[in-house]
Amino acid sequence: MNEEKEPILRAENISITFGGLKALDRVSLEINPGEIMAIIGPNGAGKTTMLNIINGFYKPDEGRIIFEGKERPKKMKPNLIAAQGIARTFQNLALFTGMSTLGNIMVGRTMLMHSNIFSQALYWRFSQKEEIEHRAAVERIIDFLQIENIRRTPASMLPYGLRKRVELARALAAEPKLLLLDEPMAGMNLEEKEDIARFVLDANEELGYTIALIEHDMGVVMDICDRIVVLDFGEKIAEGTPDEIKADPKVIKAYLGTAGG
């Protein structure tokens, strides 16, 4: 019998309030190594708030985050959390529009770089070797996401679907232990959604990334995710496999049975 692995991340009894409105109310969830987990729910359910707490943009009023078996200090800064191995894409694009595709993806390598301006001056050969290694890693991601032809194109000149792909590339460049994707397919046409869904699945199955995502396209969620957590008005109302979620009366009433959302 295979021994069950410890969750890579546990969020325990997370609560947070904004201006008297409870965005999350004692929500607990786990993300297991090697899985794709989705967080779904109607608009305003607290999904993005939960991602913002996981990667340190928000500090919960109550509850705790345990990453790789260790409880996170409550005031830990987002850059230190990123350095631990949690990368993130955003619902609204956050690329450097004046930089090329290559430059934007190289930004994702920053946390992995050991040389700084002083070591570059003192140890030129080491810095040069490191630069070559990071460029090689970025080129592998460019090949993986099939964006070779836009390598030198400024982000400002890219269509929306390709910008989203570059943002995914930048997150992958950080080689995270946990990859958080906030609506990676929002605003895309059907062909673009199919491409991103395939890349997310390949990043999980071929490259071994653990992924937690928010996505409104339920067809995509049901096709690629191992487990789903459902939020509604800041509370967790269900958790399970895609088949279990599709059959859950609370989920059907709150989300799946409604039009749009």
pLDDT, tens only, 123-172: 445 556 667 788 889 999 999 999 999 999 999 999 999 999 999 999 99
Percent of the chain's residues with pLDDT above 70: 89
Stretch 234-257: mean pLDDT, rounded?
A: 88
Q: Which domains does the chain have, with CATH numbers?
A: 1-85+176-261 (3.40.50.300), 100-174 (no CATH)
The whole-number pLDDT of residue 121 equals: 47
The whole-number pLDDT of residue 108 equals: 86
Stretch 195-222: mean pLDDT, rounded?
A: 95
Q: What band does 118 get if pLDDT is binned at 50, 70 and 90?
A: very low
pLDDT at 252 over 90: no
Stretch 92-103: mean pLDDT, rounded?
A: 86
Q: What band does 260 get if pLDDT is binned at 50, 70 and 90?
A: very low
pLDDT tens-digit map of 178-199: 999 999 998 899 999 999 999 9
pTM over 0.85: yes
The whole-number pLDDT of residue 24 equals: 97
Stretch 100-104: mean pLDDT, rounded?
A: 93
DSSP code string of the chain = -PPPPPPSEEEEEEEEEETTEEEEEEEEEEE-TT-EEEEE-STTSSHHHHHHHHTTSS--SEEEEEETTEEPPTT--HHHHHHHTEEE--SS----TTSBHHHHHHHTTGGG----HHHHHH-HHHHHHHHHHHHHHHHHHHHHTT-GGGTTSBGGGS-HHHHHHHHHHHHHHT--SEEEEESTTTT--HHHHHHHHHHHHHHHHTT--EEEEE-S-HHHHHHH-SEEEEEETTEEEEEE-HHHHHT-HHHIIIIITSS--
Higher pLDDT, 82 or 110: 82
The whole-number pLDDT of residue 40 equals: 95
Stretch 75-84: mean pLDDT, rounded?
A: 90
The whole-number pLDDT of residue 14 equals: 98
Q: What band does 94 get if pLDDT is binned at 50, 70 and 90?
A: confident
Stretch 71-76: mean pLDDT, rounded?
A: 91
